[in-house]
Amino acid sequence: MALTPPGDLYFGLNDSLFPKLLAAIQSQRPSLLNFMTPYFAQRSAYWCSPIPQPINGAPQFFPFPAVQFSSGTAIPPTEFVLQITDFSIGFGVDNVGLPADMLPLQPQRTAIRVSFSARIAVPKLDPSTFRCPTAAEPSQTPAYVLQLCDCFTGIFYATVATKIMQCGSSAWLAYSVDKFETTNVVPTGLRESVDLLLVLLLDSQVLPKLWVKIAPMVIDLTSSLPAGAPIKTITITPSAPSAAPNPDVSADILRARFILKVTAP
């Protein structure tokens, strides 16, 4: 039982499994790799890559709200489609080829390399809707049209922190981005500005929606064991308060520890 202290149960995931995991996600849960705002969700012809319909009935994409850059509702929001085509992960080790300015990798961090394709539809003022101001209508409300940009591809790198938080009787698996870098954006000042804005968007809008609530798992053995058995239930709690860090991200492995509680009849 050397693996389990300071918890009762041990779980380990090696990052070499992710190429196979990617193939499984693409065929069974494509919504984890494809993100679309309403405009693109209704127009599959505008997607950068087709998404086969999973035979298990899972959704093809994850619906995402359009981005409202301006205040009010006069100017429509910007729409986008983001499709992840490849990714690799390193648990506590840079085996994804992080850019030099993201090194050295901080302790307890996951290194991520993602290849993607994306498309944006940006609102544009339609001058054909201009009207002359009048006394009855001194201000005008011109219309906007969406300009559909071409698809583009790229690679981005990120380092992510992961934490299990105990919240009452349940636990949450939470994430946050430390660094984010797009290597194919120039000049440097523009790239740094884009990277910082993307970190803000991910940490404030995207990743909180991906936090996972993990309730205690109760296994009731009453009906499967003899009447005189000394065990009634087994409860697995998704945290181990004395484990630090938990999860442990290092040496190509994500390790997590859990508490096991057994109750008698």
Q: pLDDT for 170-182, tens place per residue? A: 888 888 888 888 8
**Considering the domain boundaries, does residue 225 fall inside one?**
no
pLDDT at 61: 94
- Residue 207 lies in domain: 16-128+142-214
Tell me whether residue 230 is in a domain: no
How many residues belong to the chain?
A: 265
DSSP state of 100: G
The Cα 49–Cα 127 span in angstroms is: 33
Residue 121 lies in a domain: yes
Helix (H, G, I), strand (E, B) or coil at 189: helix
Q: How far apart (Å, rounded) are the C-alpha atoms in residues 198 and 182?
A: 10
Which of 33-42, 79-88, 194-203 has the least mean pLDDT?
194-203
For residue range 101-142, list pLDDT tens digits in order.
899 999 999 999 999 888 888 888 887 877 777 777 766 677
- State the amino acid at position 196 in one-letter form: L
Whether 78 maps to a domain, the answer reads yes
pLDDT above 50 for 1: no
pTM of the predicted protein model = 0.69
Average pLDDT over residues 14-31: 86
Q: How many domains does the chain have?
A: 1
In a domain, 110, yes or no: yes
Residue 133 covered by a domain: no
DSSP, collapsed to helix, strand or coil, labels residue 97 as coil
pLDDT of residue 218: 87
